[in-house]
Amino acid sequence: MYKLLTHNDLDGVGCGILAKLAFEKQVQVRYNSVSSLNYEVEWFLENGDKKTFLLITDLSVNDDNKTRLHEFHLSGGKLQLIDHHKTALHFNEYDWGHVVVEDEEGKLTSATSLFYEYLIKHKLIEPSQAIAEFVELVRQYDTWEWEKNDNQEARRLNALFFLISIEEFEEKMISRLQYHDRFFFDEFEEKILDMEDDKISRYIRRKRRELIQAKINQSFAGVVYAESYHSELGNELGKENPHLDYIAILNIGGKRIGFRTIHDHIDVSEIAGQYGGGGHAKASGCQMTEDAYKKFVTETFHLTPLREDAKRNRYNVKESSFGALYEDPSGSTFLLHCLNEEKWVIHHEDKVFENTFLSFQEGERFLKRQYEAALAKDDVFVDYLKALIRKK
Ligand SMILES: [Mn+2]
């Protein structure tokens, strides 16, 4: 018999699916949160059948359990821990630990991809193209490589994972990987995934109109209140507002803040760290401490949402060398135009700003950060030009 203790996210469940494909009825799989794993391990060591082969994937145990597991191993217990988190690298000191963050080709690993390799190496699973494709989707999702590659299938696999129960997901994937040559979504799944995508776009559109800009500790943050779809929202709002250093997503009910950035010049795990939180460079979070509440809620609550750039213009368009007209919240205007190849200037109330810019984007970034200016509508642009002619 085998027992697999694994994480309850897509990567962890990917391991569960592989285990069931490999061992069928000979494996018992338990899905755990980061915190519940240690109880499961203790329970197994105290009450479990000592002849059972214990597999742990995508999670690692605390120091007490590390010692207990090693004793179990020394007394002849069969055991294997497979993980890909940097924080688990010390398990490589043990015969039963296998932790790889990056493979020989420099590709980031996931627990599912490492476990698949392990099963093939020990001749415990019959490799197939369908399984390999599934494993790669899970790996790309778990390592965020899907975003760089715009791998929508990987994104949708994770969305499906959240739309149905773990049991249902397992069952569907196992039969698909068992009986088909290639991985695919069936018609029903495609339909609910399309509906989910539509729902997310509508949610993001609504949230976009609530986004507030605030300068917090020398960085420009986009602040928005939201309970769902944090990564999609952070990503979309970030891409639409590249002048913002990061997006802060406030969940008042959960008393938490999520931070997302699309930029390399800022590390949001450091921002979260200022409030006792942590995470990754591009995605992090913290509890809503009193200090965080003051900075992100109290001090921004009176602000009006950011205006969006005019979308349907024919004349006043971005990067036009003749000039693009921007308007701040008070209706004051700025004309950003090109003097020569690498020199963009800004006209404002009969004056020209001393700052010049190497590109349109740089000039726009300045206007948006300092003045919260947005691209004006065509009719404002036409009135501006008429007034200009009258003056001459
Ligand atoms: Mn993982």
Give pLDDT, residue 280.
84
Q: How far is the centre of ligand 1, averaged over its atoms, from the C-alpha of 111 (Å)?
A: 5
Give me ligand 1 centre to Cα 289, in Å: 28
73 C-alpha to center of ligand 1: Å?
24
How do residues 237-286 score in pLDDT, each as one tens digit?
A: 999 999 999 999 999 999 999 999 999 999 999 999 999 998 888 889 99
Instruction: Identify the DSSP state of 145.
Output: H
Cα–Cα distance measured from residue 92 to residue 326, given in angstroms and rounded to the nearest whole number: 57
Confidence of residue 175 (pLDDT cuts 50, 70, 90): very high
Between helix 187-208 and helix 230-240 the angle, nearest 10°, is 50
The DSSP annotation for 308-364 comes to: PPPSS-SSS-TT-TT-EEEE-TTS-EEEEEEEETTEEEEEETTEE-S--BSSHHHHH
Q: How far is CA 20 from the centre of its chain?
A: 29
User: Which amino acid, 278?
Assistant: G
Amino acid making up residue 248:
A
Distance from the alpha carbon of residue 89 to the mean position of ligand 1, in angstroms? 14
According to the CATH classification, is domain 2-181 in 3.90.1640? yes
Cα–ligand 1 centroid distance for 210 (angstroms): 33
Cα 345 to ligand 1 centre (Å): 48
C-alpha separations of 211 from 73, 121, 152, 199, 205 in Å: 54, 51, 26, 19, 11
110 C-alpha vs ligand 1 centroid, how far in Å? 5
**Distance between Cα 166 and ligand 1 center (Å):** 16
According to CATH, where is 3.10.310 located in the chain?
A: 207-298
Per-residue pLDDT, 321: 77
- pLDDT at residue 392 tops 80: no
d(CA 84, CA 50): 27
| Stretch 23-33: mean pLDDT | 96
User: Taking a C-beta distance cutoff of 8 angstroms, is the pair 50, 71 a contact?
Assistant: no
pLDDT surpasses 80 at 341? no
Distance 347 CA to ligand 1 centre (A): 52
Distance from Cα 188 to the centre of ligand 1, integer Å: 27
Confidence of residue 391 (pLDDT cuts 50, 70, 90): confident
Q: Distance, CA 146 to ligand 1 centroid (Å)?
A: 14
Residue type, 196: E
Rounded Cα–Cα distance for residues 390 and 382 (Å): 12
How far, in Å, from the CA of 10 to the mean position of ligand 1? Answer: 8
Distance from Cα 116 to the centre of ligand 1, integer Å:
13
What average pLDDT does range 215-233 have in this prediction? 95
Q: What is the rounded CA–CA span in Å between residue 137 and residue 199?
A: 23
12 CA distance to ligand 1 centroid (A)? 6
How much distance in Å is there from the Cα of 179 to the middle of ligand 1? 26
Beta bridge partners of 260: 247, 283
Distance 244 CA to ligand 1 centre (A): 30
| pLDDT score, position 258 | 96
Q: Domain 207-298 belongs to what topology?
A: Diaminopimelate Epimerase; Chain A, domain 1 (3.10.310)
Whole-number Å distance, alpha carbon 84 to ligand 1 midpoint, is: 7
25 CA distance to ligand 1 middle (Å): 25
